Every structure is written in C-alpha cells, then in structure tokens.
Amino acid sequence: ILNVEQSPQSLHVQEGDSTNFTCSFPSSNFYALHWYRWETAKSPEALFVMTLNGDEKKKGRISATLNTKEGYSYLYIKGSQPEDSATYLCASPANFGNEKLTFGTGTRLTIIP
Amino acid sequence: SAVISQKPSRDICQRGTSLTIQCQVDSQVTMMFWYRQQPGQSLTLIATANQGSEATYESGFVIDKFPISRPNLTFSTLTVSNMSPEDSSIYLCSVRPIHRRGMNTEAFFGQGTRLTVV
C-alpha cells in the first residue's frame, strides 16, 4: 500500500504572504508525483505532474519542487490571493503504468483578506 | 484532456435508501475511477470501472454496497446502497486518459456528488 502524506492539514495565510506545504511519499519505486487544487464546489484540477528528481515546475504564482531520493515535494504559493483558497492534494501512482492514484489527505489553505 | 459531467451535485438521502451517481465523459476512456472523500479523510479509491468487465474493488469496498455499471467507454454509474450516515461523503469520478502506455498524464474529475445521509 502506497502511503502519501501531506502537511500541514490546514493553513491560514494573510493575503500577499507566501506559503508552502509538503507532500511525502515512499522514495523507493517512485514513478510520478501529482499536485491538484480542489476549490469548493468545483472539480479537482491538476497543477503539476512531476517525474524527475530535482524537477521544478511553475504555473503563475504557484511552483513545485520534487526530491525523489528523500521522498518529498514542496508546493509554493507566492503572494497569496483569496482565489488561492482551496484544498491542495498530492498523489502518486503505485507503479509504472498504473492508472490508479493514491492521494494524500490534502492541505486546506485559507487566504485571509 | 477530458470533460466529465457528474450528477447529482448533491443530495440528502434517508438511511436505508440507495443513490445512483452518473458520470459522462466527453471522450472514450478505458478506465473510470470512483473515489470518495469522507470528512477529514483523503480521496479514497472505491473501485475501477472497466468497460465490458466487472469493476475492480479496493480493499474495504464490496460490490453489494457499491454496484457499478460501465455500459460503454464514456459512461459509468456508482450506486451507494442501503445508505447509513457513515456514507455521507463527497463522491468523485475520475479518468486518466493515457495516449500511450506509461505516460504520466494527469487525472480529470467530475464535479463531485456531496451526499448527506440522515
């Protein structure tokens, strides 16, 4: 059973501040790491899919890094805005070519205006 | 990419009744995945729906409780049977279109069904 963990469980950040949170996963048999944003009453949407150690990806004010040797990924949000309020999920497939994803419990981010 | 239409978006049901959730995808996909998220928990996979064969259920989930239909490559239903308050969750369907074996493509999700059992 693949164990994917996220911390913190929830986070309140002042508008304009930057923040980051963590996803941990087993470093052995790693294949890919996904980040999703899930806003209330909407579908989860993919932010990043990362596969290589040292990967860094960026989408606007959001970026992510990947360390497969130590089994963690960071998601960074620069200059938080109210629209960033959401639950951020990370997920990983159990093995190569496996379409099933195992999700972490998520980090619920609330931006305080 | 894939666009998934899921309904109903929410429902309040009496215990002992059943609810069927539908998902329609705008393209043909081999597998469709059904997840639930109970309060404070992660997205947990219930089962994988394959067209033309029985669904594959994860540990802790059984067909009698969560029967699934997959009549074609664009449509699936999940039924939550004989509901109890513990079934109150958000239910999501998902697909991962893969253009060639092994590509790490993202997952696409329906809008979710927020179920409350009273």
Type of residue numbered B52: G
Among B23, B25, B104, the strongest candidate for a mutation testing the A interface, having the largest count of A CBs within 10 A, is B104
Q: What pLDDT does B115 receive?
A: 97
Please say if the pLDDT value at position A83 is more than 60. yes
Residue A106 is nearest to which of B31, B42, B98, comparing CB atoms?
A: B42
CB B65 within 8 A of CB B91: no
Whether the ω angle into residue B8 lies within 30 degrees of 0, i.e. cis, is yes
Contacts of A52 (CB under 8 A, 6+ apart): A66, A68
Q: What pLDDT does B39 receive?
A: 86
Among A99, A101, A107, the strongest candidate for a mutation testing the B interface, having the largest count of B CBs within 10 A, is A99
Give the chain B residue whose CA is nearest to the CA of A51.
Answer: B104
Q: What pLDDT does A100 receive?
A: 84
CB contact under 8 A, B105 and A105: no
Q: What pLDDT does A47 receive?
A: 97
Q: What pLDDT does B100 receive?
A: 56
Residues B59-89: b if buried by 16+ CB within 10 A, e if exposed: eeeeeebbbbebeebbbbbbebbebeeebbb
Give the chain A residue whose CA is nearest to the CA of B101.
Answer: A97
CB contact under 8 A, A43 and B107: no
Residues of chain B with pLDDT under 50: none
CA dihedral A48, A50, A54, A56 (to 10 degrees): -20
Type of residue numbered B62: V
What is the CB neighbour count within 10 angstroms for residue B109?
Answer: 24
Mean pLDDT in chain A? Answer: 93
CB contact under 8 A, A93 and B43: no
Give the chain A residue whose CA is nearest to the CA of B37.
Answer: A105
CB contact under 8 A, A99 and B108: no
CB B87 within 8 A of CB B116: no
CB contact under 8 A, A32 and B104: yes
Q: What pLDDT does A7 receive?
A: 96
What is the CB neighbour count within 10 angstroms for residue A107?
Answer: 22
Q: What pLDDT does B22 receive?
A: 98
Q: What pLDDT does A96 receive?
A: 65
CB contact under 8 A, B107 and A51: no
Cβ contacts of A86 on chain B, cutoff 8 Å: none
Q: What pLDDT does A40 receive?
A: 87
Residue A43 is nearest to which of B31, B96, B110, comparing CB atoms?
A: B110
Q: What pLDDT does A31 receive?
A: 87
Q: What is the pLDDT of residues A14-53, one digit of tens each?
A: 999 999 999 999 988 788 999 999 998 899 999 999 999 9
Mean pLDDT score, A109-113: 96
Residue A101 is nearest to which of B98, B107, B111, comparing CB atoms?
A: B107
Please say if the pLDDT value at position A87 is more than 60. yes
Q: What pLDDT does B101 receive?
A: 55
Q: What pLDDT does B102 receive?
A: 53
Q: What pLDDT does A5 receive?
A: 94
